[in-house]
Structure 1
C-alpha cells in the first residue's frame, strides 16, 4: 500500500475532486434488505473534533534556515496576520509559498495557518507530503500526529497517516507490524463511529488479511458490524464472503470456535431427537465422529453447518444495526457540508444539526434508562460504548457537528451544556478549544466560559478570561461590565471602581458611551461606596460633556431626591433648574418640572415654595406645551425619549455601543438569550410611569388658584 500522493486543494483544504464525489455519494436512497449502497469514492473531509488531547501548535524555531525568504513573502505574511480572519489572505500566502518551493517559508506559513484553522485536514496532508518529499519522514509523521490531535475524526487523515507509515517503515520487522496495528486501533477507536468511516474499517480488515491473520480480520468485521455507517451493508457482505471462504477453525478464536462447535453438535443432536451421550452409545464400534476427519479437522459437512450458524448469529446483529442506520439515514442525508469552511451554512443545515443532536441526545437518555432497568433485573452493567446509542455516540455527533459548524457559538454552547452533565473537565476543555482556537473574537462564548469558571470557584481563571477577551475586543462595554461585576462579587470594590473609572476616562471621545459608564460608576459609588459627593461629581462632569443626555440628568435628580429632603432641597432645585436650561426635549423638561413640583409638595418647608414651583410649572406648560405635543407626534429619537428612574434606571441599556477591533466572521448563529445581551438583565418601564406622572398635573388646580 503506497502512500497517497498530493492532490490539488481548494480554498478550504478539501481535495478538488472530492467535491464532486461528495455530491454523488450523498445522493443515496434509504437502504433496503435487497440492495446495497454504492461504494463511496472518498471521504467527505473534515470529520471531528477531539475532546481529550488539545491541539498542539508547532514548536517555534523548528524550521531549517534556507536563507533569504521569497520576495513577496513578508507582504503576504503581514496581510494574513493583520487580519487573521481573512481566509483568502491565508490561502494566497500558502499558494505563494508552494509555488516558490521554499521550505522555511512554507513551514512557517502552514504552522501559522493551521494554528488558526486546524480543521482544514487537506493542508495537514499537504504539509506531511511536503516534508516527506524533502526526505523528512520523521517530521512528516509529526505533522500527521499534530493534525490528528486537532481532528481525530478525520478518516482521510488517519488513512493518510497509515499509508505514510506503510511507505516508510520496514514491514519485515515485527515491531513495524505491531506499530501499524496499534495505529489502526487508535484510528478506529477515534473515528470508527463516524458515519463515513467505512474506508478505514475496510483498510484495517484488508491489512490483517495481507498479514495472514484471518482471525483478526474476523474481529474487525465483527466490530464494524455493530456500527451504523453509510456503507454498513457492504461490511456484512464482505464478512459473509470471509466466513464462507474459510473454515471456522481458521477465522475464529479458540474460545469462539469451541463454543461454535458445541452449538453445532447440540443442533445435530436435537435434529436426530437424541442427546450426544445416547448417540455415542448407539454408534457401532470403530465408526468415527461425523464431525471429524482422519486428520482431526472438521468434515466438509460440519464446516458448512458451522458457517451457517456463524452467519445466522451475525445476521441478527446486522438487522439490529440496519434498524439504527434507518433511524439516522434521513438526518445524515440532510447534511450537505460535513467539512469545515469559512463560508456560512444556510438555515436549513443549521436547523438540521440542531434537530439531529436533540434526537441523538434523546436516544441516549432512552438507552441509558433502558440499560439502568436491565442492570436492575440482571445485575450486570452493559459495557460503555457497546451498541450504537449512549454518551459516546452523542459525543461523536457533536464533534462532527463542530467541524461544519466550528464558527457558530450556538453549537459550542450547546455542547458545553451537554458536557457539564458528565464532567467539569470535559466542559472546560470544550470552552478552551472554542474560545482559544475557533472563536477568539466571539464575546458570548468567552463570557459564558468566565461564568462557568466563576461558578466552579475558579475566580482567577474567570478574571484572566475576561481580561484577555477585553484585550482582544477592546471597547466592548459588556466585557468591561462583566469584569466589574466579577470584582464586585469578589468584594473587590476598589478594583471594580477602578475599572469603571478607567472606562469613563477612555470613552470621552464617545459621549454616549461616556454617559453610560458615568452612570454605572455613580451608582456604584452611591449604592455600595456610600460616597454621595463623588457620585454627584461624576454625574455633573458627564453632564458638562453631554448636556443633552436626559439619562444623566435623571440619574442626578434621583441621586438628589434620594438624600435627606430636609437638607437637600437646594440640590434638588439646582438639578431641576440645570435640566430645564439644558437642550432637552419638551417632554423631558415637563417631566423634570413635575418632579420638582412633587418634591416641593412632599417635602417643601413652606407653602410659598410649593406655590412657586407650581407657578413655574404652569409657565413651562404654556411655553413649551405646543412643542411637547409636536414632539410626541413626530419625534422618534430614542435619545430624547424619557427613561426610567427606579433601580433599573441608572444607565441600563439593552445594547451599549461597542467598537470591535475587526469585523466578525460572516457566519454567526442566533445569539438571542445568551449572556451577552443586556435585555434580560433590566426591566424597561418608561420614566413616564414613575410615581403616576403620566396623569395630568392640572389636578393641582383644585388646591392652588392660578396666579
Structure 2
C-alpha cells in the first residue's frame, strides 16, 4: 500500500504550508544521526558534507557518467550569487527554482547538494531531490538522497513516510527480504520520530501496513505501543485499537502469551464468582459419573466468554489510555503555544522563543521529579511503563531536538541543551556542539569558543586546538580567537608557542594600528610577566608607539612597565616615558594625567629635592600652557565639587575637592618655590594635590589598562 503523504506544498522561500515534518526523537542516540539508518538500505549511506567555499556538494554514485553537457544559461549567474553570499536564502531558492524549471539534472543536483549542506533542515527539498532522481529512473540514487536527508534530520515524519513510500514503490514485495526491510525501516522511523507530538501518521501507516501483510497481531502491537505515547491524536489511536480488537477473533489479534493469560484471568474470575455464588451467567461445571471423561475442548470460546474477555482486554487498555491522556493534558497548552515547529531562516518572534523555553523548563522539572526507572521494565507492566516512557531524560532530549529544529539559528537554545547534557553524557554533549558549530552556527564565534573550552576542560586538548584553528581560518582577524589560542598554549606550558602566536598577530596587523597596538600590549605584558624580560617588552611597546604615537594606552602600559621595574637599573625610564607622552599628539587631559603621574613618581622615588621641584615646575608650566581652567581644577580653586579627567580609552579619573585628606601632608624641609603664573596658593597647592593623589588612582591606576580588557577590544 502506498501511504498518503498529504499535499504539502512549499514556496520559493522554503515555507511549508503543512510543516508537520519536523519531528522529535525518542532516544538519546539522536545526537549520533549517522548510526542505524543505512545498514538495511541498498544505496551507500552518504555522510553529511562539510560546507565548503565553493558549495559544490558531493556527486552521487555514478553521477559523473551522466553529465548533461553545458549548464543552463543563467546557472552561473545565480550560482555566483550564492557563492558570494551563502547566507542569502532567497538567492538559494531562486537558484533551485530555476534549475527545476530548466529540468537540467546536473544543475539541479549541484544546486540541491550545496543548498542542503547549508540548510539540511529543509526537509521539503530532500523530498524534491529524491523525486528528481526517481523520475529519472535512478531509484538507488533516490534512496541515497533519502538516507542522507534522514541522517541530517532524523526527526522528520514526512521524510520517513516519503522514504518508506519510495521503498514500497521500488521493492519487490513478494520477496521475504523486502518485507523484513520495510518493517525494519518502520522501526527505525519510530525510534527516531515516533515520539513526536505530530507523529500520528507514521504510527497509522505502520499499523495499516501490518494489516495488509495479514499480521493482525503485529497491528495490535503497533497500536499498543502508540497508546503509551502522548500525541495530538492519541484518542483516535484508542478508538482504532478498540475497533481492531473487537472485529477479529481474540486469538488472531493477540499474541499466544497474552491470549493464554487472558483466558486464565477469565477462568479465575469465573471460579471466584462461583465461590461467592454471585455469578449467574457462568456455565456451571456439572459432576460426571465415575469413569466419564471430560468432553473435548473444541478450541473455541463461547460467545459469552469472548464478550467477557473482550471487556477484560479493553479494561486493561483503557487504564493505559487514561494514563496517557493525563500526560497529553499536561503538555497540551505548551504544544498549542508553538506556532512554528519547523525550520525557517525568518526570525522567530519573542513569544515563540519564550514558548519553547517555558516548555523545556517544564519538561526538565518533570524529569527531575521522576526517579530513574530501570531499563529492564517488562512490557506488560502497563501504567508503570507509560510513566517511564513519558517522563525523564528521554522526554527532555526529545523536546530539545524538536526545539532545535525551529530554533536552529539561535545560540541560546544550543547553549541550554549542552548545559543540560554535560552532567549526563560528555559524548552526547560533544555531538551537540559539533552539530551546532559545523552546520547551524558557523558564524557564532562565542559558541565555538565555548566548545573549545569544553574540550579543554575535559582533557581533549588536540580537539580544542583544532576548533580554535578552524574558527580562525573561517573568521580571520577575530581578536578573541587569537587570544584564546595563545591562552591555550600558555596553559599547556608552551610559552614559546604562545609568544609566537602573539608576535604573529602583531606583525600581521601593522596595517591596522588599533589592532597592532592591542596585540603589542598583550605581547609586552606576556614578555614582562611570564618571560621575565622587561627589555623585550619595552622594545615591543616602543615599536608600537612609533607606529601609533597617538595611542595613549601604549604610553600607559610603557609607564606601568617602567614603574614595575628595578629602579636601580633603569631609574630614568619613568621620566623618559612621561617626556615621550608629553611630546606625543595626545589630548590635553591625557597629558595632564601623565604629568601628574610623573610628579607623583618623583615625589615617591626622586633622589634629590631639586629634581622633584624641577618636575613640579614643568607640571605647572604645562597647566599654564593648557589653560587656567585646568590649572584651577588642579589646585582646587574651582567651585565645581567634581572634575573628571577623561582618558582616550573612556576611563576617567575623579578629583573630589574639599574631601578630608586620608594621607597627611609630608613635612618639607625646603620652603615652597614661587608659583608659576601668579598662583598665590604656593606650595600648599601642591601639598593639597598630594593629599588628593589617591583620588587619581595612584599607582593602582597604572594597572587599569591591564585589568580592563574589554576597553582594548576593537569595536564590533
TM-score by length of 2: 0.82
1:498 alignment partner in structure 2? 500
**Which deviations, in whole Å up to 9, do the C-alpha atoms of 1:619-677 show, x marking residues without a partner?**
333433646469997998853645874555227432655699xxxxxxxxxxxxxxxxx
**Which deviations, in whole Å up to 9, do the C-alpha atoms of 1:249-300 show, x marking residues without a partner?**
1111111111111111122222333599xx99962439xxxxx996321111
Choose between structure 1 and 2 for higher RCO, CA contacts under 8 A separated by at least 6 residues. 1
CA distance in 1, matches of 2:316, 2:24: 32
Decide whether the 8 Å contact of 1:46 with 1:404 is kept in 2.
no
Decide whether the 8 Å contact of 1:586 with 1:627 is kept in 2.
no
Does residue 52 (structure 1) correspond to residue 32 (structure 2)? The answer is yes
In the TM superposition, what is the alpha-carbon distance from 1:590 to its structure 2 partner? 2.3
In the TM superposition, what is the alpha-carbon distance from 1:601 to its structure 2 partner? 1.7
Does residue 649 (structure 1) correspond to residue 705 (structure 2)? The answer is yes
Decide whether the 8 Å contact of 2:360 with 2:400 is kept in 1.
yes
* Match among 322, 345, 348 for residue 325 of structure 2: 322
1:335 alignment partner in structure 2? 338
SS in 2 for 1:368: coil
Decide whether the 8 Å contact of 1:363 with 1:390 is kept in 2.
yes
Decide whether the 8 Å contact of 1:46 with 1:119 is kept in 2.
no
SS in 1 for 2:543: helix
1:139 alignment partner in structure 2? 141
Mapping of residues 382-531 of structure 1, within 5 Å:
386-531=388-533
Q: How large is the Cα RMSD of the aligned pairs?
A: 3.0
Mapping of residues 223-622 of structure 1, within 5 Å:
223-274=225-276, 283-285=286-288, 295-368=298-371, 371=373, 386-622=388-624
Q: 1:638 to 1:251 in 2, by over 3 A?
A: farther
1:189 alignment partner in structure 2? 191
* Match among 121, 142, 151 for residue 119 of structure 1: 121
1:639 alignment partner in structure 2? 649
Decide whether the 8 Å contact of 2:23 with 2:198 is kept in 1.
no
SS in 2 for 1:428: helix
Decide whether the 8 Å contact of 2:589 with 2:645 is kept in 1.
no
Decide whether the 8 Å contact of 1:195 with 1:228 is kept in 2.
yes
In the TM superposition, what is the alpha-carbon distance from 1:548 to its structure 2 partner? 2.3
CA distance in 2, matches of 1:544, 1:249: 94
SS in 2 for 1:649: helix
CA distance in 2, matches of 1:46, 1:584: 61
CA distance in 1, matches of 2:650, 2:135: 69
SS in 2 for 1:568: coil
Decide whether the 8 Å contact of 2:12 with 2:94 is kept in 1.
no
Does residue 208 (structure 1) correspond to residue 218 (structure 2)? The answer is no
Decide whether the 8 Å contact of 1:119 with 1:151 is kept in 2.
yes
**Which deviations, in whole Å up to 9, do the C-alpha atoms of 1:463-512 show, x marking residues without a partner?**
11101101111111111110110111111212211211121222223222
Greater mean deviation of Cα atoms: 531-540 or 608-617: 608-617
Q: 1:658 to 1:310 in 2, by over 3 A?
A: farther
1:2 alignment partner in structure 2? 2
In the TM superposition, what is the alpha-carbon distance from 1:311 to its structure 2 partner? 1.0
Q: Which runs of 5+ in 1 are unaligned?
A: 23-42, 287-291, 376-381, 661-707
CA distance in 1, matches of 2:129, 2:371: 43
Decide whether the 8 Å contact of 1:215 with 1:252 is kept in 2.
yes
**Which deviations, in whole Å up to 9, do the C-alpha atoms of 1:565-587 show, x marking residues without a partner?**
23322111111111122232333
2:695 alignment partner in structure 1? none
CA distance in 1, matches of 2:421, 2:192: 18
**Which deviations, in whole Å up to 9, do the C-alpha atoms of 1:198-240 show, x marking residues without a partner?**
1100111111111111111111111000001111111111111
2:658 alignment partner in structure 1? none
CA distance in 2, matches of 1:636, 1:606: 32
Q: 1:354 to 1:221 in 2, by over 3 A?
A: same
**Which deviations, in whole Å up to 9, do the C-alpha atoms of 1:361-381 show, x marking residues without a partner?**
121121136x48x99xxxxxx
Structure whose alpha-carbon radius of gyration is higher: 2
CA distance in 1, matches of 2:297, 2:463: 75
SS in 1 for 2:649: helix
Decide whether the 8 Å contact of 1:14 with 1:122 is kept in 2.
no
Decide whether the 8 Å contact of 1:566 with 1:603 is kept in 2.
no
Q: 1:71 to 1:611 in 2, by over 3 A?
A: same
2:99 alignment partner in structure 1? 97
Tell me the number of residue pairs that the alignment of Structure 1 and Structure 2 aligns.
623
Decide whether the 8 Å contact of 1:334 with 1:349 is kept in 2.
yes
1:697 alignment partner in structure 2? none
CA distance in 2, matches of 1:161, 1:192: 15
Q: 1:258 to 1:424 in 2, by over 3 A?
A: same
Decide whether the 8 Å contact of 1:475 with 1:658 is kept in 2.
no
